[in-house]
Amino acid sequence: MATTLSTPAELATAGRVDLHCHSTASDGILSPEALVSRAKSQGVSLLALTDHDTVAGLAAAEAAGEAEGVAIVPGIELTASWGRRQVHIVGLNVDAAAPALRGAIEQRWRLRRERAARIAACLEKRGFSGALAGATGVAGDGVLGRPHFARWLVMAGHLESEQQAFKRYLGAGKAGDVRVEWPDLAQTVESIRAAGGTAVLAHPLKYGLTRTRLGALLEAFQDLGGEAVELLCGRQNPLQTADLRRLLERHGPRLRCSLGSDFHRPDQPWRELGCVYLPADVEPVWNLWQTSASERARGPLQH
Ligand code: MN
Ligand code: MN
Ligand code: MN
């Protein structure tokens, strides 16, 4: 198959690239197989599956990628603490079996279970009984998160929409927005690097940081061994992208650029798989990877 012969750079010129998306292994609504096949139909040739705090969807995605001719980059999106803030770090080209990554995942699942119990308790107090069992049922084998509580509240007929669930109970500052001490940025970057992966700062514009704070985050991330930033994540205002590029020149000159849709579900066209393109004059993250994603399965990459 062509994909086994191509380097990531060749694949990136042959089709679209999407290095950030979710399946049912976390809070996406398509199975890894359905996701890969949708990516194929969107013209994606290089796809990273980056579920929240899990690699459980990767084997199925890789098998589907083989069948469909889509090269799969094994990935993950890890939640981390940066001071009092919560940030997301995407790990690309990771060895899913590496003990360091396994440990990082187990730690987060423990924190998520604790958080889920606290969210459930808060919903129970407001009269929504059976919240934990309900949300767990929605999540199935997937990693339990707030979106599963939102879906359960709608499915059980308590609320009209998931947006309503976030607005009233689960969103920032609401009772169900339970604080969690996630592993810190340094530890998170280290877990990814120890698994042979590339640490990428996800959607830097979505943390509500001032330019000064964002500059500080870029510097900290680069100093800790972070290697790339998502210059584009979902459809983005071009002015914001240009501004982010200026910030990168100043505060993260060694950081490569990544991109992704952050696709979760088909009914959000602004986050369709393969919806963004990297400008031609930036250094793409895949230049760090010497061999194709499929070859990667046969042994760790040399960076
Ligand atoms: Mn998500
Ligand atoms: Mn994220
Ligand atoms: Mn994401």
Residue 117 region by backbone torsions, left for phi larger than 0, else alpha for psi between -120 and 50, else beta: alpha
> Which-ligand-closest: CA of 201?
2
Cα 22 to middle of ligand 1, angstroms:
7
Cα 5 to middle of ligand 1, angstroms:
33
Cα 179 to middle of ligand 2, angstroms:
16
- pTM to 2 decimal places: 0.89
Residue 147 to residue 26: CA distance in whole angstroms: 10
Non-local CB neighbours of 59 within 8 Å, separated by 6+ positions: none
Other beta carbons within 10 Å of 238: 9
Q: What is the mean pLDDT of the chain?
A: 92
Give residue 295's pLDDT: 55
User: 8-98+198-298, which class in CATH?
Assistant: alpha beta
The tens digit of pLDDT for each residue in 83-112 reads 999 999 999 999 999 999 999 999 999 999
Give residue 179's pLDDT: 86
Residue 217 in this model has a pLDDT that exceeds 70: yes
The pair of three-digit structure tokens given for residue 16, joined into one six-digit string:
């679209």
Cα 202 to middle of ligand 2, angstroms:
6
Cα 22 to middle of ligand 3, angstroms:
6
